[in-house]
Structure 1
Amino acid sequence: MNRHNATAAREVRLLARSGALTGPTANLAPGFVQANLAILPRDLAGDFLLFCQRNPKPCPLVGVSEAGDPMLPVLAEDLDIRRDVPRYRVWENGDLVAEPTDLEPYWRDDLVTFAIGCSFSFEDAMLAAGLPVRHIEQGCNVPMYRTSIQTQPAGPFAGPLVVSMRPLLPAQAIRAVQVTSLLPAVHGAPVHLGDPAMIGIDDIAKPDYGDPVSIREGEMPVFWACGVTPQSVIAHARPDFCITHAPGHMLVTDLLNRDLSLL
């Protein structure tokens, strides 16, 4: 992977590491791959790896660590998974118990980090194609919803697909399908366009994660598989202990989005 001129990505990680950045990472370090996180004890890592392999749309893996190693050199040379994400979520028996900005007090030598491709990467391609991204326009977090679509289970991991939503005019939606289908490593093409009720979303104005955004006259909601899916799956599996990123608060890597394109 090409990591030339990764200064912008490293600066975002250093801001998170210092505690200066605690908010969402949308549109930070444009051009660089951002990743969702699932950090699990080693005894669950095999099942979770299989879950990701069976569900590549919501869980496209871009990196996996050695047990207990907070570094992921495949993603960046200067990276400490314990401190380089703006905000984390700590779970015990499926319940959210903390949202720290530093994992040092929680780190264990049996933890395996899974880095999962993020929709923020394909948003870079959408913007380059002249397509609007409403939550960036409005300065908020992307809206995300649990759906009635079930993932393919693996071991204790099962549950509903989570999707992220961006409103687009019909012609823009067609173009967005073309653009994002070239990026399967960061969720690829949408999984649904139009009526939210068809995928079990009762109220588009009330996302399960993130913030609501305006849908203007003539626009339709367009839904992509989302890397927050592991959080709903983990809540279902109720492992004794695990860590995820806080929704919208991603790991910024030194990988370039263009390196993930099929073109």
Structure 2
Amino acid sequence: MAPIAIQETVDVAPLKKRADAESATEETGEGIRLSARSGTYTKQTSGAAPTYIQANLIILPSKYASDFRILCRRNPVPCPLLAESAAVGSWDALRSWIPGVEGQKIAANVDLRHDCPRYMVYENGHLKTSHCLNVENEWTEDHVCFVIGCSFSFETALAAAGLMPAHTAQARNVSMYRTSLPLCPAGVFKNSTYIVSMRPYRRRDVEKVRDITRPYVATHGEPIDWGWEAVTRLGIKDISRPDYGEAPVNADGTNLVQGDGIGDEELVPVFWGCGVTPQEAVQRASLEGTVFGHAPGYMLVLDVRDWDILQA
């Protein structure tokens, strides 16, 4: 039985820069944000701006901010906290939670109301608006934004190793599922469970996938479980029907089904913690007032690069 790999702390080891840190990319985090801000970039962001860190957003009334920080500290795998609004009501500046990285470096030119391609809006714990282009009208001087690491950030490293995720190859949104794995509670955030993202790989490649993603602690790190048995362990009802994103496919675009391959060649689901988890926690907490965040798969792309957050 494969173990569930859950880290107990959110502490990050000293960071080091990769040798190719100055290599250029066609897209930049700022370029994606500006395009989203103007309404010209409206698609999901998997594969966008390689080496630039992608992030989930959750934006709350300030009275819930302390409980949310504690939730992230107690649940660093699905909720790895990278930054938050520099002050209550601030939408254009961030305070960093990444050791050695200042908020200005995380995202210098940022408008948290516009810079995700799509947003979700919740009112008193219920979904009010889905996949809207911005939340400028909903933002108030009492809101605080939290920026949480996203597993899209390590997909470039997987692709470079010849392990491109199937959803990226097919230009689809990653499959995301509710689980029965409980979160550690924090204040008003109780009775919540993990959301996980899934990428299928041949069984022979799982250890390599684990090794590649393990240093990305700030963006969920290595898988928490893998194999067809994991579907049952995690309490996922039907892998063909994700709760968020699109139905899972193989690299050739065919549907993911059990029994594809034998032994080490078997194609198996591999599950990571997912930053949609806090949106689920918000819904279950039935928070008063307006809460909003990114639409699943439509991330905030930052200026900080992967070598700035890799754990040594």
Normalising by the residue count of structure 1, what TM-score does the alignment of the two structures yield? 0.96
Map of 1:209 onto structure 2 = 244
Match of 1:199 among 201, 214, 234: 234
Matches for 1:117-132 after TM superposition, within 5 Å: 117-132=149-164
**In structure 2, how many angstroms separate the alpha carbons of the residues matched to 1:116 and 1:147?**
19
Map of 1:255 onto structure 2 = 304
Match of 1:12 among 32, 35, 38: 32
**In structure 2, how many angstroms separate the alpha carbons of the residues matched to 1:80 and 1:211?**
28
Residue 72 in 1 paired to residue 93 in 2?
yes
Match of 2:81 among 61, 79, 83: 61
Match of 1:50 among 60, 63, 70: 70
CA displacement at 1:22 relative to structure 2: 1.4
SS in 1 for 2:28: helix
**In structure 2, how many angstroms separate the alpha carbons of the residues matched to 1:129 and 1:28?**
18
Map of 2:207 onto structure 1 = 174
The alignment yields a C-alpha RMSD, in angstroms, of: 1.6
Q: Which runs of 5+ in 1 are unaligned?
A: none
CA displacement at 1:203 relative to structure 2: 0.8
Map of 1:161 onto structure 2 = 194
Contact 1:36 1:250 in 2 (8 A): yes
Moved more, 122-131 or 253-262: 122-131
**In structure 1, how many angstroms separate the alpha carbons of the residues matched to 2:144 and 2:269?**
35
CA displacement at 1:41 relative to structure 2: 0.6
User: What is the aligned residue count?
Assistant: 263
**In structure 2, how many angstroms separate the alpha carbons of the residues matched to 1:138 and 1:128?**
17
Map of 1:239 onto structure 2 = 287
**In structure 2, how many angstroms separate the alpha carbons of the residues matched to 1:189 and 1:224?**
7
- Which amino acid in the other structure matches residue 83 of structure 1? H
Contact 2:155 2:164 in 1 (8 A): no
CA displacement at 1:220 relative to structure 2: 0.6
Moved more, 56-65 or 1-10: 1-10
Q: Which runs of 5+ in 2 are unaligned?
A: 1-14, 95-102, 250-255
Q: Which structure has the bigger radius of gyration?
A: 2
CA displacement at 1:205 relative to structure 2: 0.3
Task: Kindly report structure 1 stretches of 4+ aligned residues shifted beyond 6 Å.
Answer: 1-7
SS in 2 for 1:106: coil
**In structure 2, how many angstroms separate the alpha carbons of the residues matched to 1:250 and 1:96?**
18
Percent identity between the two aligned chains: 43
Match of 1:84 among 98, 115, 118: 115
